[in-house]
Structure 1
């Protein structure tokens, strides 16, 4: 049986009962978070759900009101001096000296890190700037940068040294669609290099496209976590049936205890029925067999899993921002 210590070693981030109170307001409420090493982990929740507060506690920037936490297998904030040099971060929008160039800003930030090698400083910074698409703008003063360029510079700062863990808070904030795609590709390449990437976001599409694991939080509480596939599999499903004989197909589905709804705009050459699949619903194979036995000409069948947005609404009963 694995020991508690082995569990800590296998996780990049682990919290138990982590809480943060601001006066009478409980911003983070008993959070039990488990981020496996090597994962791209999405920390998903609407604005104001405690995501940034949690990140600040993990990095030793805010003291927890209760609970424990470990990062890279070491207790935080006790082991901050050992842990933080192994962690790259982008939190709450980066702040830079506006009249210094992008390169000059990163040179100063890297020099302040006692764990970095001065002999490789310029080469590492140049490579990081190229990696985020700022190589041509590296000599410009930061006050001339757009919001998206400043966000890229913050990402470059997180990449100036090889890191075991990257913690990125809303990394696509201020980026245009092309920049968003580039950051998505960058996150994938970081994971391929062996880093664990922890991405905090309120954008459902970003989490769906880049993450292997996710946690959903709302009002400071953990609502669900696990692999992305498990979050979908645990959610509601629907069966979609395309056929020219919609009335007969509807009768068959209702005879199986389902509640089909016909799409208002039919597909070319066929109509479409959708029906929720509850816990006691027949397996899709049995539904197809019943349709064929009844003489329904089935042109297509698809089992639709809930989207991450559907899953969030099911968990919380709240709406969700899907775009910035």
Structure 2
């Protein structure tokens, strides 16, 4: 790959290659005649929390396996932390922590015992600080109370926490997490969210593959969306959301009249269920602002006699953008 290079897609702000923790160009992976990853150009800025979204079977986990050298690409280029993969695998992986496709541990060992053994297998890890680092990692994921318990007695959520602890046994430049909140209760999910934010604040790039849109919206700064093996959008979260159709919500008792005004302005009106008020107002939603200033929309409504008792402008949610980009839900397997 030649530098400098912009690695933006679908209206996202261009990013220099030197500012990227992960970069791919025309990356392809086939299984038989099916392309699981079909020519994607991925750009993950350093220091970001990057949410990697897509329906089941869209190619997310296959992409992660390619990035980490767990599978070989059929064609294309990969750079992780500025180095070409898989040629630089031995020098890159010590700076990368990963939790992919669920953690696997020795069931007859305790949480501490598993982490001690895994750390011992890392030739870059210091023996002198091993026990302290294991204790610190268990504390960060809230497992200090179960450190001595055998892993066979761990719940799915506890095993997931232990996998996170293993990924953080040493300081990492990049953390790759595949469904990190899988099996966690709401409290555990909030703790992981807070942990990811703190890691990013400390300079670690966090790459999160997830199907939980609400979590991604609260956790991530950047997003990439996969569909049928293709990267259909990527960029800062706010840019991705603002690229969707914004809509206005008008609280008024004059529903039919408001709908006619919105139609005249080129908006697509519709009544939002369950958004009435104690005074009997209904909410009329107009989609596609079409360059109108909010003040002009309100003025047009009032000029035609619409009693406006509430008015808001809302950008498309991440879920709306996801559906518009993929046409699918997360239960689709392709």
TM bucket normalised to smaller = over 0.9
Q: Which runs of 5+ in 1 are unaligned?
A: none
Q: Match for residue 273 of structure 1?
A: 284
Q: Is 1:33 equivalent to 2:33 in the alignment? A: no
CA distance in 1, matches of 2:215, 2:251: 30
- Contact 1:39–1:212 at 8 Å: present in 2 too? yes
2:61 to 27, 52, 63: 52
Q: TM-score, normalised by structure 2?
A: 0.91
1:7-156 superposed matches below 5 A: 7-156=16-165
- Contact 1:309–1:320 at 8 Å: present in 2 too? no
2:192 to 183, 189, 199: 183
RMSD: 1.8
Q: Is 1:311 equivalent to 2:321 in the alignment? A: yes
- Contact 2:4–2:18 at 8 Å: present in 1 too? no
Deviation of 1:289 (Å): 1.6
CA distance in 1, matches of 2:27, 2:212: 24
Q: TM-score, normalised by structure 1?
A: 0.94
Deviation of 1:267 (Å): 2.1
- Contact 1:94–1:150 at 8 Å: present in 2 too? yes
CA distance in 2, matches of 1:132, 1:268: 45
Please give the per-residue CA displacement for 1:74-93, whole angstroms capped at 9, x wherever unaligned. Answer: 11111111111111110111
CA distance in 1, matches of 2:75, 2:47: 28
Q: Match for residue 298 of structure 2?
A: 288
- Contact 1:8–1:70 at 8 Å: present in 2 too? no
Please give the per-residue CA displacement for 1:72-113, whole angstroms capped at 9, x wherever unaligned. Answer: 001111111111111111011111111011111111111111
Q: Match for residue 4 of structure 2?
A: 3
Deviation of 1:4 (Å): 4.2
Aligned pair count reads 320
CA distance in 2, matches of 1:3, 1:288: 47
Note closer, same or farther for the CA distance 1:131–1:264 as it changes in structure 2 (3 Å cut).
closer
Q: Match for residue 207 of structure 1?
A: 216
Deviation of 1:255 (Å): 2.8
Three-state SS of the structure 2 residue aligned to 1:109 is helix
Three-state SS of the structure 1 residue aligned to 2:146 is coil
Q: Match for residue 240 of structure 1?
A: 249
Q: Which runs of 5+ in 2 are unaligned?
A: 7-14
CA distance in 2, matches of 1:231, 1:264: 26
Deviation of 1:264 (Å): 4.7
Please give the per-residue CA displacement for 1:235-256, whole angstroms capped at 9, x wherever unaligned. Answer: 1221111123334333322332
Deviation of 1:176 (Å): 1.4
Return structure 1 stretches of 4+ with deviation > 4 angstroms.
none
2:176 to 161, 164, 167: 167
CA distance in 2, matches of 1:123, 1:300: 57
